[in-house]
C-alpha cells in the first residue's frame, strides 16, 4: 500500500487525562448505546415469540407467506457487509486509507442492496394482500391472530430498516470525513466505534430472521 506510512491515532479531548482513557470511554459509550438499542427491539421479539406460543397454527400460517429466500439472501448480504466493515477497521488500524475507504463504500452498497431486497419483499407482500392495516382486503382475514403477527413483522423489519438507513447515512458522512487528510491521525477510533454499530444492525437482523421467518416453518 502506498500510504502505509500514515500515522494512526486519536486526538485527546480536554476532559480526558489520557488518550487511552478516551478510547475506552468511547467504546464503552457505544456498547451502552447498543444495549439500549437491543432492549428497544427486545419487546418486539418477545411479543412475536409469545404469540407463537399462544397461537402456533395461526403464526405458522402467517409465516408461510413471508419470503424465506429473500430473508435468507438478506442475511447473507448483511453478513458480507459486516465482513467489509471489519476489513475497513483493520485497514484503518494499519493506516491503509484507500482500502479502508473502499471497504466502507462497499459496506454502504451492501446495506443499500439489503434495502432493495427488502423493498421488493414489501412489494410482493402487497401484491399477495398481506398488508392488514390498509384499506384493501387482507388474505388471512379469517384468522384474526395472524394479524398481530403480520403487524409485528412490519414494525420490526421497518424499525430495522430505519436503523439501516440511518447507518448508511452516517457511514457515508464518515467516509467523506475519512477521505480528508489527517483523519486517521486524529480520529481513527471513530471507525472502530462505527463498526460496532454496523455489526449491531447485522446482529439484530440475525435475531429477526429466525424469530419471524424460520421457526416452525
Contacts with other proteins by CB under 8 A lie at 14-17, 21, 24-25, 28-29, 32-33, 35-37, 39-44, 47, 132-133, 144-148, 151-152, 154-155, 159
We find the least distance from the C-beta atom of residue 135 to other proteins, in angstroms, to be 9
Q: Specify the residue, 5 or 17, whose C-beta has the smaller distance to other proteins.
A: 17
Take residue 22 and report the three cell numbers written for it. Answer: 478516551
- C-alpha angle 7-94-191 in degrees, rounded to nearest 5: 85
We find the least distance from the C-beta atom of residue 66 to other proteins, in angstroms, to be 17
Q: Specify the residue, 151 or 192, whose C-beta has the smaller distance to other proteins.
A: 151
We find the least distance from the C-beta atom of residue 204 to other proteins, in angstroms, to be 13
Q: 53: helix, coil or strand?
A: helix
Q: Specify the residue, 4 or 134, whose C-beta has the smaller distance to other proteins.
A: 134
2-35 burial: b if 16+ Cβ within 10 Å, else e: eeeebebebeeeeeeeeeeebbeebeeebeeebe
What's the distance, CA 121 to chain centroid? 17
Q: Scan for cell 500500500, then name that residue.
A: 1
Q: Scan for cell 464518515, then name that residue.
A: 174
Q: Specify the residue, 33 or 117, whose C-beta has the smaller distance to other proteins.
A: 33
We find the least distance from the C-beta atom of residue 28 to other proteins, in angstroms, to be 5
CA dist list (Å): 200 to 24, 47, 123, 130, 190 = 19, 21, 26, 29, 15
We find the least distance from the C-beta atom of residue 39 to other proteins, in angstroms, to be 4
Q: Specify the residue, 3 or 24, whose C-beta has the smaller distance to other proteins.
A: 24
16: left (phi > 0), else alpha (psi -120 to 50), else beta?
A: beta
Amino acid at each position: 500500500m502506498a500510504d502505509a506510512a500514515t500515522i494512526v491515532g486519536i486526538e485527546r479531548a480536554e476532559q480526558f487525562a489520557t488518550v487511552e482513557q478516551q478510547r475506552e470511554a468511547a467504546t464503552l459509550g457505544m456498547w451502552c448505546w447498543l444495549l439500549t438499542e437491543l432492549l428497544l427491539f427486545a419487546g418486539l421479539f418477545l411479543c412475536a415469540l409469545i404469540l407463537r406460543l399462544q397461537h402456533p397454527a395461526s403464526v405458522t400460517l402467517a409465516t408461510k407467506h413471508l419470503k424465506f429466500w429473500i430473508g435468507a439472501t438478506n442475511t447473507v448480504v448483511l453478513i458480507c457487509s459486516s465482513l467489509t466493515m471489519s476489513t475497513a477497521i483493520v485497514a484503518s488500524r494499519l493506516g491503509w486509507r484507500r482500502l479502508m475507504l473502499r471497504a466502507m463504500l462497499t459496506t454502504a452498497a451492501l446495506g443499500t442492496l439489503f434495502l432493495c431486497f427488502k423493498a421488493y419483499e414489501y412489494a410482493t407482500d402487497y401484491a399477495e394482500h398481506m398488508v392488514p392495516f390498509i384499506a384493501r382486503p387482507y388474505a388471512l382475514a379469517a384468522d384474526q391472530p395472524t394479524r398481530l403477527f403480520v403487524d409485528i413483522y412490519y414494525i420490526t423489519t421497518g424499525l430495522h430498516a430505519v436503523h439501516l438507513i440511518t447507518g448508511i447515512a452516517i457511514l457515508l458522512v464518515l467516509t467523506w470525513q475519512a477521505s480528508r487528510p489527517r483523519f486517521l491521525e486524529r480520529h481513527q477510533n471513530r471507525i472502530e466505534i462505527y463498526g460496532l454499530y454496523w455489526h449491531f444492525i447485522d446482529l439484530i437482523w440475525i435475531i429477526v430472521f429466525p424469530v419471524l421467518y424460520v421457526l416452525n416453518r
